[in-house]
A = this chain, B = another copy of it.
Amino acid sequence: MATRDRTIENLIERLHRLPGVGPKTAERLAFHLMRVEADEALQLARAIEQVRAAVKTCSRCCNLDAQDPCSVCSDPARDRTMLLVIEDPREVVRFEDTGYRGLYHVLQGRLSQIEGIRPEDLTTDLLLRRVAADRPAEVCLATNPDLEGEGTARVLLERLAPLGVKVTRLARGLPAGSTIAQVSRSILADAMEGRRPLSS
C-alpha cells in the first residue's frame, strides 16, 4: 500500500502530540504548514527554537521568562509585601491586566488525587521557604475556584499557617456581566455567602 512520505507522517505525529490536537487536526495543520509560504511555516519552527533557547523558569517565583530572576521578580517597582500564588504561568498576564503589581509564585500545577499530583510535585517547598524568608504582608492563594483548586488552597493554608502570615483567597461570586437568572446555583450560593455590607 502506498503510504505518505515519512517527513509528512512525522510532522503529523509531532503535531498530534500537542495537547488537544487529535489526528485529524494534526493532519489539517500539517497540510496547512506544507501549503503556506515556506517562510510562514519556518517562522513557527524558529519561534519554537527561540523560545526553547531563551525561556527559563524563574528561580524565585517559577514563572517562565527570558531572564532569571524574571522581569517581575527583578522589577524594583513591584510591591514585595504581596504574594499571589497561582497554578499556571499563563495566569500571570491575566493578573497583570487587572493592574496587580505585587509578586507571584507559580505552583506549576495543582494537587490532584486522581492524577496523583502531591505537594512535592509542585513548587510548594520553594513557596514555603520564600514566605519564611521574605515574610510578605499577604499571601493570596489564587488557585482556581474548583474542587482541586480549593483542595490545593486548603493544603497550602495548612502549611503556611505556622509561618503566621496573612493568607487570603480570591473572592467568589457573580461574574461581572452575568445575569442572576442564568448563573448556576453554586455561583449564586457563593455570591450569597460572600455578600458584603453596603455603606451609603
State whether A8 touches B64 (Cβ < 8 A): yes
How distant is the Cα of A13 from the Cα of B48 in the complex, in angstroms?
A: 11
Number of this chain's copies in the assembly equals 2
CB distance from A39 to the nearest CB of B (A): 9
Task: Determine whether A72 belongs to the interface, using a CB cutoff of 8 Å to chain B.
Answer: yes
CB distance from A133 to the nearest CB of B (A): 23
State whether A51 touches B8 (Cβ < 8 A): yes
State whether B47 touches A10 (Cβ < 8 A): yes
State whether A18 touches B32 (Cβ < 8 A): yes
State whether A90 touches B27 (Cβ < 8 A): yes
How distant is the Cα of A73 from the Cα of B71 in the complex, in angstroms?
A: 56
A54 in contact with B90 given A2-B96, A29-B19 (CB within 8 Å): no
Task: Determine whether A142 belongs to the interface, using a CB cutoff of 8 Å to chain B.
Answer: no
A20 in contact with B25 given A42-B52, A48-B41 (CB within 8 Å): yes
Partner of A66, one of B7, B46, B52: B7
State whether A43 touches B14 (Cβ < 8 A): yes
CB distance from A51 to the nearest CB of B (A): 5
State whether A2 touches B52 (Cβ < 8 A): no
Task: Determine whether A28 belongs to the interface, using a CB cutoff of 8 Å to chain B.
Answer: yes
Task: Determine whether A195 belongs to the interface, using a CB cutoff of 8 Å to chain B.
Answer: no
**Residues 39-67 of chain A, each 1 if its beta carbon lies under 8 Å from chain B, else 0:** 01111111111111011000000001111
How distant is the Cα of A15 from the Cα of B47 in the complex, in angstroms?
A: 9
CB distance from A122 to the nearest CB of B (A): 13
